[in-house]
Structure 1
Amino acid sequence: MPYPIQDALLPTRHDDQYHAPGDALKRLPLRKAAVLFIATVCLCLCALLYLQLEQSRRHDLNQARVASSNLTRAMAQQAEDTFMKADLVLTSLVDWIQVDGFGPPLRSRLQKTFARRVQSLDQLHGILLFDQKGQWIVTSFEDLPRGPGVADREYFKFHQQNVSSVAHIGAAIRSRENGEWIIPVSKRVNDKNGEFQGVLLAGIKMSYFDQFFKSFSIDDKGSMFLGLTDGTLLARRPFVESQIGTSLAKGEVFQNLLPRATSGEAMFTSLVDGVVRLYGYRQLDAYPLVVSAASSRDSILAEWHDTAFRSSLIVALVMLGVGLFGWVFIRQLRVGERVEADLRQAQEALELIATHDSLTGLANRRLFERALDVEFGRGARQHSPLSLIMLDIDFFKRYNDTYGHVVGDHCLAQVARAVKDCCHRKADLAVRYGGEEFAVLLPDTDIHGAMTIAEQIRRSVMAKNISHTGSPTGYVTVSLGCYSFMPTGRDSMDVFIQRADAALYQAKHSGRNRSAVLSLEGGIAELMRSDR
């Protein structure tokens, strides 16, 4: 429990009382020099370790950036070759179809041609021709699929609305022929007049890219992906079906990196799974595609972490040795300091015991008299009022007789806590004056302020609802007397206390559980009471 008044009133102690000044001057520089030397050695070791580890870390990251750049370049080349072969097949077939058409006499021949082209390219799932309404006309499969057609597909709508003859790469879809995931590459089919006649589509197997990605060596937390330039995810390693077709447009690669450069490397947290990786990315020149390969930061720096641990352990052992040597060197000096500190603490504890009540923790009469002497002088110098509240627990003898002295002590402690809680300023001093009687000294407070505090204390004690069968109210209450005056420098402490005590007596005489104010006007004492 803090005692602000005590801090101002207790005498201060200095180390000079226990040690000669000459001894302190001799010991202090040596201790500081030892500590400074040890700290300097340790800091130098730490600085050297940091520089070495930082250089090694940067080297590992640079090596990883080079490897990532090479990997994305290889991925981009392979992806471009894959789509270019499909594009060439579609271009040759579209040219043929636009010249000869796809009437019933030609469909058998077209089917066989489609099938041969699919067999010649491992990446192709199938080749499919749709008419202007999205219905299947010819496919590379032997049986023509049945169903509502593909008029609702994104690629079909694209070709309906765009006359461009450039191949269109759409978002990954499930084939309506067998349910396999494919990436559609399609071209518009026109008649001789340039009018829309249908769509020719080549489906690239998602499994082809899965095997393609697995041919590259990356760590378990690494990732690779193929996406459209608008951020649509086409294929990814590791493959997670629910992520196919999702948008990465708000990710770091599409949001910030690609607008600045079509290729590069950067380390950031993945939008998909939250793993920190070093990403290499590259946008294809021939198609609206982006490839990216990433290695997790943990795997890149795994060997560095091992080296850092071993180096740090060695430096830590060296620092421990230096520290132990320094500890032994200054131990004897610190023993003396501990003795001094213990003596100071013991002296402060004794002073606290001498100035505070052990039961309630409030100031005792000795500290109260010191405070009165200080505040009388301060009030006279600053012409500020000084107030005193004396309070007494009502029917406390009956309480002790009824509940015993142990419970009575607990009651005193609760009342003291209520008194202390109502002293809001550091300058206010709560005192156990004796027995069940308490006092509150209020510097720079007039009679109205003292009465306000007194009523707060009275209500606070009542609010605790301490049972007291010997009291008419049924619970513990207090009576309070207030007195305030303007110190002049020639005042008597005894008279000051007596007048507050007289107000307390009047409060008890008038029925208890109330606050009374004593004011002196024209030499006649007037009593004012504040009932509940």
Structure 2
Amino acid sequence: MPISHDDPSHASGVTLKRLPLRKAAVLFIVVVCLCLCGLLYLQLEQSRRHDLAVAEAASSNLTRAMAQQAEDTFMKADLVLTSLADWIQVDGFAPAQVPRLQKTFARRVQTLSQLHGIFLFDQKGQWVVTSFEDLPRGPGVADRDYFLFHQQNVSSLAHIGPAIRSRVNGEWIIPVSKRVNDKDGHFQGVLLAGIKMSYFDQFFKSFSIDDDGSIFLALTDGTLLARRPFVESQIGQSLANGEIFSKYLAGSMSGNAMIGSVLDGTVRLHGYRQLDAYPLVVSAASSRDSILKGWYDTAFKSSVIVALVVLGVGLFGWVFVRQVRLGERVEKDLRKAKEALKLIATHDSLTGLANRRLFEQALDLEFGRGIRQSSSLSLIMLDIDYFKRYNDAYGHVAGDHCLAEVARVVKSCCHRTTDLAVRYGGEEFAVLLPNTDIHGAMVIAEQIRRSVMNCNINHSGAPSGYVTVSLGCYAFVPTRLDSTEVFIERADAALYQAKHSGRNRSAVLSMDGSVGELMRSDR
């Protein structure tokens, strides 16, 4: 099929591209929705970080206050034990001193509300004197950890041990103890101050935390001393495997961390601090869900609003894209209809070859190109021999089939896209060959003639018994003094000469207008 010679895009060498409106609309809608979601994410993330930062600041302040209170509590008990230990080391604890010591112990306990009691044990762990009026009966405390510690260590510093139940009344206490030596520095016993577990429980309750929050006091080895909420079975458990002790305290004595509890699995924001004066760690934690409760509400409402907006944009975009698609479909149908009308206007409906209108347009175009480029232009005119006899013998329907078959042969011999096969009128055809001299035109003409003969279309009215064609060829290099009409007339003159010389042959018209060599190949 030759290219369309009247396509303005080909004439100008510019290919016009249509803006893909539907794709652009879809992309725009997607970008808008992504931007809305992105802005929502940034706003919510900023709000979440702000809420966590406020919670971290509150947690740090709370742990600082707890650490100071805990340090003061244990320091007061430590000072009491230190003064009593110095006195006992000088005066001893002979039976004559016991009443005096008991009264002194009782006064100290009355002075400090956090104290459960003060106790003195001899080097065998037996009760010597207590802040209580009645001396307890029992096996003593030789099996207690704090007693064994002082028995084996000469340090005079206060020792804080794991929480225990008092053997006096069964109350939970945190033991603070000191080693008692004689004048020569030999082990003589242990002086113990028991701090009430209930004191820390009341202290912890003075701080406002959520229902899932927690506060605890522990030794630096992770042993839990006191906790809110109080769960008796958890007292004495080890928190050493928790991240605060295994990870964070190793890098800093204080800080904040969002971690899951090893006791109940709840994720909390922990503020932690290790005391400077004693081997203790305090921590206050608020549950992550409680910290972010307001944020969750805001996030839900904002997400619903943005989702509705995105849905609205999506619905609008869907309607818009449907309208665009419908418009494109209508435009495509119109384009197809235009192309069909153009094909009808420029091509013969029976043979599918170009008609005279397209031939004239192409001839003008190639004529001008030949003038500009000084290139040769050839034209072959051909006619079916004795076609009227064919119609009379076989009918017009068969004649139409014959025309279509000859047109197919002519078209098949046009090998280049610039070659144009034309139904010139009736049983007459033309082949326009740009940039082709007379020798090339004769080669194509003979190829057409032989191909028609090889179709073996029966024709009782022809001398050969088969359908044949006669062809006339003309070629020249056009100038501005030449005309297309003369060009066609000379090719037509060559055709007339071929028919006049016996048909089924090709004739050439020389450039001076005289008929040249006739060519024929009989079967």
The partner residue of 2:148 within 152, 157, 160 is 157
The partner residue of 2:227 within 236, 250, 275 is 236
Are positions 1:314 and 2:305 aligned together?
yes
Structure 1 CA distance, aligned partners of 2:261 and 2:319?
Answer: 52
The alpha carbon displacement at 1:332 in A equals: 5.7
The partner residue of 2:249 within 227, 250, 258 is 258
Aligned to 1:79: 70
The partner residue of 1:127 within 118, 125, 128 is 118
Kept after mapping to 1: 8 A contact 2:179/2:189 = yes
Structure 1 CA distance, aligned partners of 2:227 and 2:164?
Answer: 14
The alpha carbon displacement at 1:308 in A equals: 1.2
Aligned to 2:356: none
Are positions 1:248 and 2:270 aligned together?
no
The partner residue of 2:183 within 188, 192, 195 is 192
Structure 2 CA distance, aligned partners of 1:303 and 1:334?
Answer: 45
The partner residue of 1:290 within 261, 281, 290 is 281
- State the Cα deviation string for residues 72-129 of structure 1 (Å, max 9, x = none): 1000000000000000000111111111111111111111111111011110000000
Look up the equivalent residue of 2:65 and give its one-letter code. A
The partner residue of 2:86 within 95, 118, 121 is 95
Structure 2 CA distance, aligned partners of 1:74 and 1:332?
Answer: 68
How many equivalent pairs are there? 314
The partner residue of 2:26 within 35, 45, 56 is 35
Report matched runs for 1:52-451 at 5 Å: 52-331=43-322
Kept after mapping to 2: 8 A contact 1:65/1:280 = yes
- State the Cα deviation string for residues 448-467 of structure 1 (Å, max 9, x = none): xxxxxxxxxxxxxxxxxxxx
Kept after mapping to 2: 8 A contact 1:233/1:243 = yes
Q: Secondary structure of the residue that 2:25 maps to in structure 1? A: helix
The alpha carbon displacement at 1:33 in A equals: 2.0
Moved over 4 A (4+): 25-28, 332-337
Aligned-residue sequence identity (percent) comes to 83
Q: Do the aligned partners of residues 28 and 240 (structure 1) sit closer, same or farther apart at CA in structure 2, a change above 3 Å counting?
A: farther
Structure 2 CA distance, aligned partners of 1:46 and 1:222?
Answer: 33
Kept after mapping to 2: 8 A contact 1:27/1:333 = no
Q: Secondary structure of the residue that 2:218 maps to in structure 1? A: strand
Look up the equivalent residue of 2:175 and give its one-letter code. P
Q: Secondary structure of the residue that 1:105 maps to in structure 2? A: coil
Q: Secondary structure of the residue that 1:290 maps to in structure 2? A: strand
Structure 2 CA distance, aligned partners of 1:333 and 1:247?
Answer: 69
Structure 2 CA distance, aligned partners of 1:266 and 1:259?
Answer: 13
- State the Cα deviation string for residues 42-94 of structure 1 (Å, max 9, x = none): 00001111111111111111111111111110000000000000000001111
Look up the equivalent residue of 1:170 and give its one-letter code. G
Q: Secondary structure of the residue that 2:97 maps to in structure 1? A: helix
Q: CA RMSD in A?
A: 2.0
Look up the equivalent residue of 1:133 and give its one-letter code. K
The alpha carbon displacement at 1:333 in A equals: 6.8
Q: Which runs of 5+ in 2 are unaligned?
A: 1-15, 329-523
Kept after mapping to 2: 8 A contact 1:68/1:294 = yes
Q: Secondary structure of the residue that 2:20 maps to in structure 1? A: helix
The alpha carbon displacement at 1:245 in A equals: 0.4
The alpha carbon displacement at 1:311 in A equals: 1.4
Structure 1 CA distance, aligned partners of 2:234 and 2:131?
Answer: 29
The alpha carbon displacement at 1:230 in A equals: 0.6
Report matched runs for 1:471-510 at 5 Å: none
Q: Do the aligned partners of residues 42 and 167 (structure 1) sit closer, same or farther apart at CA in structure 2, a change above 3 Å counting?
A: same
Q: Normalising by the residue count of structure 1, what TM-score does the alignment of the two structures yield? A: 0.57
- State the Cα deviation string for residues 415-455 of structure 1 (Å, max 9, x = none): xxxxxxxxxxxxxxxxxxxxxxxxxxxxxxxxxxxxxxxxx
Look up the equivalent residue of 2:293 and give its one-letter code. A
Q: Which structure has the bigger radius of gyration?
A: 2
Structure 2 CA distance, aligned partners of 1:334 and 1:251?
Answer: 61
Q: Secondary structure of the residue that 2:40 maps to in structure 1? A: helix
Q: Secondary structure of the residue that 2:96 maps to in structure 1? A: helix
Kept after mapping to 1: 8 A contact 2:21/2:324 = no
The alpha carbon displacement at 1:32 in A equals: 1.9
The alpha carbon displacement at 1:247 in A equals: 0.5
Structure 2 CA distance, aligned partners of 1:57 and 1:96?
Answer: 58
Aligned to 2:470: none
Aligned to 1:512: none
Kept after mapping to 2: 8 A contact 1:125/1:202 = yes
The alpha carbon displacement at 1:34 in A equals: 2.1
Bigger shift: 119-128 or 305-314?
305-314
Aligned to 2:38: 47
Aligned to 1:524: none
Structure 1 CA distance, aligned partners of 2:309 and 2:195?
Answer: 62
Structure 1 CA distance, aligned partners of 2:48 and 2:26?
Answer: 32
Q: Do the aligned partners of residues 308 and 132 (structure 1) sit closer, same or farther apart at CA in structure 2, a change above 3 Å counting?
A: same
Q: Secondary structure of the residue that 1:104 maps to in structure 2? A: coil
Structure 2 CA distance, aligned partners of 1:233 and 1:190?
Answer: 30
Bigger shift: 221-230 or 328-337?
328-337
Aligned to 1:516: none
Look up the equivalent residue of 1:273 and give its one-letter code. D
Q: Secondary structure of the residue that 1:197 maps to in structure 2? A: strand
Q: Secondary structure of the residue that 1:234 maps to in structure 2? A: strand
- State the Cα deviation string for residues 158-190 of structure 1 (Å, max 9, x = none): 000001100000000000111100000000000
Structure 2 CA distance, aligned partners of 1:335 and 1:103?
Answer: 110
Kept after mapping to 2: 8 A contact 1:170/1:183 = yes
Kept after mapping to 2: 8 A contact 1:219/1:296 = yes
Q: Which runs of 5+ in 1 are unaligned?
A: 1-24, 338-532
Structure 2 CA distance, aligned partners of 1:336 and 1:130?
Answer: 101
Structure 2 CA distance, aligned partners of 1:200 and 1:113?
Answer: 13
Q: Secondary structure of the residue that 1:160 maps to in structure 2? A: helix
